[in-house]
Amino acid sequence: MKNVISIRDLSREEILHLLDQGEKIEKGELKPDHSETVMSIVFFESSTRTRFSFETAMKRMNGKVITMSGTKGTSVDKGESLGDTLKTVANYSDIMVVRSGLEGTQRYASEIIPIPVINAGDGSNQHPTQCLLDLYSIRKTQGKLDNLSIAVVGDLRYGRAVHSLVYGLSHFSPKLHLISPDFLKIPEYIKTDLEDKNIEIHEGSDLSEVINKVDIMYVTRIQKERFSDLDAYERVKNCYVVSKSMFGDVKSNFKLLHPLPRVDEISTDVDDTKYAYYFQQAKNGVYIRQAIISELLGGSK
């Protein structure tokens, strides 16, 4: 494994290996040390949460971090090309984490720079480390990954976390319930890919029909920043609101996941129920990112 650009590049075995390593790190059985390593965080789209997760992962392994968040006041502002920016920062660091609004930025980076590249989100395309922490969270709460029944709810069209998740799950024979307004259905090319892998898919728009059947419900935010048409956003923004009152007949192993941040799609009255797992899910991100960074730096033996 040289880079982590898309979850589609990873085999079932590679995914399971990373989850296993993350688990050892969480349990304290593995304590990677990267005190000789500088990681660059190059976020053309600013983000606090994902930045904090990567910085924490690296710093907990004694690694050094240099961070650019947003392009204001950078050489990009002075007219520098993307390629030059990436090549220059690669000179300073041993591994690079890139977030961008432009799809494909990280693939391009991996082709022009000699150090490992981690994709921390490219537009509406992929977010593979989010996917790995989601798989880690699912396995941890369910004790397994294979043959689970999973509902994915919300913005399936623009949500890169969702796009990565369904590809990640496709190695584990899930039964997928894809719940969204018509306007925000999962892209056709992804659906075709899943069907080619014989994944059982049910599309619908009513989450009450599936909530009692599934092991995991993965809710996503309708992302205002992905819409060019604000009218369209206003029509769908509150189409799903999960509240405590819906949990009367859910399975006992049922867990609610969300990549965060949430706006209104999960009521706060859910937070104290045993079904809420989204804050722990965020915490799991640090372990899995420690595993990913360590693997790319030569293995976390």
Of the two residues 167 and 278, which places its CB atom closer to a copy of itself in the complex? Answer: 278
Q: What are phi and psi of 62, to 5 degrees?
A: 65, 15
Distance from C-alpha of 168 to C-alpha of 172, rounded to nearest angstrom: 8
> Does residue 260 belong to the site contacting a copy of itself (CB under 8 A)?
yes
Map residues 35-54 to x or -, x wherever contact with a copy of itself holds by CB under 8 A: x--x-x-----xxxx--xx-
Q: Residue 52 Cβ, how far from a copy of itself at the closest point, in Å? A: 5
> Does residue 298 belong to the site contacting a copy of itself (CB under 8 A)?
no
Q: Residue 53 Cβ, how far from a copy of itself at the closest point, in Å? A: 6
Q: Residue 33 Cβ, how far from a copy of itself at the closest point, in Å? A: 11
Distance from C-alpha of 221 to C-alpha of 237, rounded to nearest angstrom: 8
Angle between the N-to-C axes of helices 49-60 and 278-296, in degrees from 0 to 180, rounded to the nearest 10: 50
Stretch of 148-156, 163-171, 242-250, 261-269 lying at the interface with a copy of itself (CB under 8 A): 261-269
Q: Using the rule CB under 8 A, which residue among 30, 286, 296, 297 binds a copy of itself?
A: 286
- Give the residues across from 122 on adjacent strands: 100, 126
Q: Residue 115: which of 72, 146, 86 has the closest Cα? A: 86
Q: Using the rule CB under 8 A, which residue among 11, 33, 88, 238 binds a copy of itself?
A: 88
Stretch of 81-89, 140-148, 162-170, 244-252 lying at the interface with a copy of itself (CB under 8 A): 81-89
> Does residue 85 belong to the site contacting a copy of itself (CB under 8 A)?
yes
Query: Do 123 and 148 meet the contact criterion of CB atoms below 8 Å apart?
Result: no
Stretch of 9-17, 55-63, 140-148, 159-167 lying at the interface with a copy of itself (CB under 8 A): 55-63
Q: Residue 37 Cβ, how far from a copy of itself at the closest point, in Å? A: 10
For residue 282, the Cα-to-chain-centroid distance in whole angstroms is: 10
> Does residue 95 belong to the site contacting a copy of itself (CB under 8 A)?
no
Q: Residue 48: which of 67, 65, 35 has the closest Cα? A: 67
Q: Residue 75 Cβ, how far from a copy of itself at the closest point, in Å? A: 4
Query: Do 110 and 96 meet the contact criterion of CB atoms below 8 Å apart?
Result: no
> Does residue 83 belong to the site contacting a copy of itself (CB under 8 A)?
yes
Q: What are phi and psi of 231, to 5 degrees?
A: -60, -45
The DSSP secondary-structure symbol of 97 reads E
Cα four-point dihedral sign 6, 285, 91, 1:
negative
Query: Do 41 and 55 meet the contact criterion of CB atoms below 8 Å apart?
Result: yes
Q: Residue 25 Cβ, how far from a copy of itself at the closest point, in Å? A: 14
Q: What are phi and psi of 197, to 5 degrees?
A: -95, 10
Query: Do 18 and 295 meet the contact criterion of CB atoms below 8 Å apart?
Result: yes
Of the two residues 214 and 297, which places its CB atom closer to a copy of itself in the complex? Answer: 297
Q: Residue 212 Cβ, how far from a copy of itself at the closest point, in Å? A: 27
Structure tokens at 131: 């996917």
Q: Using the rule CB under 8 A, which residue among 80, 103, 209, 234 binds a copy of itself?
A: 80
Residue 239: how many other CB atoms lie within 10 Å: 18
Binding residues for a copy of itself (CB under 8 A)? 35, 38, 40, 46-49, 52-53, 55-56, 59-60, 62, 64, 66, 68-70, 72-75, 78-81, 83-85, 87-89, 91-93, 221, 223-225, 260-263, 268, 279-280, 282-283, 286
